[in-house]
Each structure stands twice: as structure tokens, then as C-alpha cells.
Structure 1
């Protein structure tokens, strides 16, 4: 292995360190997840009467 001494920082290295020298800020899990209802509310489905089939069939 060769041991190289770091030379004086040049302008490219300074710019590179300013841009890539730190890690980006941590992103919370809450910020990565978006919750939406799977389906739109359907008022016709909620108005179901469980005895309706009996009335239609027997009368």
C-alpha cells in the first residue's frame, strides 16, 4: 500500500465536500405513507335491507 499525503484542498474537492459531505435529512415513515380509503362510500350499499329478498321472493 502506498501512503499518500493529502494535498491542499482544491476548489473541486471543496465543492464536492459541500455537496456530498453530509447525509440527507432522515425521512420519517409517517411522511412516506399516504392513507386513502380503498373505495368511495356507496350509500346504496349501506341501505341494504336483509329482509328485502324474503319479501321479493315470497310475495
Structure 2
């Protein structure tokens, strides 16, 4: 092969350079996490009443 053929990039090399020629934008660690509750909050779960317990079990 003549030495001039090594200096001219072909279409595949140009496309490869356009796609992989630079690193992707940097992502900060705080942008890598998505926080959401595991389950919907149940208002009846925290509705404990000490008076109701006393009336139900002690009287």
C-alpha cells in the first residue's frame, strides 16, 4: 500500500471518531441516585391511641 493511503481516513473511521472521539459528559455522584419511598405511607399505621388500648384490654 502506498503511504498516502494511511493518512486519509475512510468514512467508517470518520463516523467512529464522531461517535467515540470524546468522553461523555461527567455525571456527579448525587445525580446517580434516585430516591423514592418503597411504599405509600399508611396514615392508619401511625394512628396508635394509648387510651384505645387501655379501654380494649384493661376494662
State the TM-score bracket (shorter-chain normalisation).
0.5 to 0.7
Offset at 1:50?
2.4
| TM-score relative to the length of structure 2 | 0.64
CA deviations on 1:1-20 (whole Å, 9 max, x unpaired) are xxxxxx21322222221211
| TM-score relative to the length of structure 1 | 0.64
Matched residue pairs, number?
53
Q: Structure 1: 5+ residue runs without aligned partners?
A: 1-6
CA deviations on 1:12-51 (whole Å, 9 max, x unpaired) are 2222212111111112223221111232121112221123
4+ residue stretches of structure 1 with deviation over 6 A? Answer: none
Quote the RMSD (CA, aligned, Å). Answer: 1.8
Distance 1:15 1:38 in 2: 44
